[in-house]
A = this chain, B = another copy of it.
């Protein structure tokens, strides 16, 4: 069985050809995500697929799986809502495109859910049927997998909004319209504002800068990172109280500093979460950049049945 899986990022699109659950070919092409560009991106994808198939006929492709940011209707295979990126993809008939272009079946899923499935098949969540994943990046993303099923909810939003649980109900506005979300306190987009407030007066503050400053003894940088760790931990406790998982898997760029962050989050999670049955495991995502690709392949092969 041959499947093509595609991870549509904001700046680049990753494609892989798999036979069974093994990647046999992989490529990256530029995305045309800003202000739309879905058709232009798809035309690049078509070329890349044909190239990946090499001398083989494209008629050997069984299915194509798209991992996308935004709210995805996995039943009707449509993008319902997408923030900023690929806005002209909303309502686009991806199934029709896959059928017409490659005579292939089509699957779609939100990228955080796809990454969770990848961790479930190959990574930190292997063999575990109750998983919450958190991705600490530009924002705070995530997904929930309960009793062996991805949680979707009525409008395909369930499980993905963990970064937008209020953890400070008197706090400042988040860009989602809510108040005091974990993401509005401790994410790449929010960190310059927190840094300014704490008196860390540098331009273009990001997590790397803060970790570097802390390692050189900067007390304010440490204080800012401590607040972020408190916020991420509160976020994790809320997700545990919401979904009752066995494991929390944390991924995203910030996890480059996992050695510092992870034990602290684990300590707070164990201290504050109400789990009379025992302790939730807190682990770093281990499937790396390919998690969403492997996850989509789980769907394409039927290892995970949608």
Query: Contact check: which of B168, B243, B274 meets A177 at CB < 8 Å?
Result: B274
Contacts of A230 in B (CB 8 A): 169-170
Oligomeric state, in number of copies? 2
Are A242 and B177 touching (Cβ within 8 A)? Answer: no
Bound complex: CA A38 to CA B154 (Å):
39
Q: Does A25 contact B (CB under 8 A)?
A: no
Given contacts A147-B152, A152-B147, A273-B178, contact A169 B241 (CB under 8 A): no
Query: Does A217 have its Cβ within 8 Å of any Cβ on chain B?
Result: no
Residues of B with C-beta under 8 A to A271? 177
- Say yes or no: A234-B166 contact (C-beta < 8 A), given A177-B272, A178-B273: yes
**A147: which B residues are within 8 A, CB to CB?**
152-154
Chain B residues with Cβ below 8 Å from A169 are 167-168, 230-231, 234
Beyond A80-B277, A164-B241, A167-B169, is A272–B178 a contact (Cβ under 8 Å)? yes
- With a cutoff of 8 Å between Cβ atoms, the chain B residues found around residue A155 in the complex are 244, 275, 277
- Given known contacts A147-B154, A153-B130, A242 and B165 CB-to-CB distance under 8 angstroms: yes
* B interface footprint on A270-306 (CB within 8 Å = 1, 0 otherwise): 0111111100000000000000000000000000000
A158 is an interface residue with CB less than 8 A from chain B: yes
A156→B234 contact, CB < 8 A: no
Closest to A165 in B: B238
Question: For A178, what are the chain B residues with a Cβ–Cβ distance below 8 Å?
Answer: 237, 241, 272-274
A residues 165-191 near B (Cβ < 8 Å) are 165-170, 176-180
A15 within 8 A of B: no
Contact between chains at A164 and B274 (CB < 8 Å): yes
Bound complex: CA of A157 vs CA of B162, how far in Å? Answer: 17
Question: Given A154-B245, A244-B154, is A71 in contact with B167 using a C-beta cutoff of 8 Å?
Answer: no
Q: Assuming A170-B168, A272-B177, is B244 touching A157 (CB within 8 A)?
A: yes
A237 proximity list for chain B (CB < 8 A): 166, 178
Bound complex: CA A153 to CA B276 (Å) = 14
Whether A48 sits at the interface, judged by CB under 8 Å, is: no
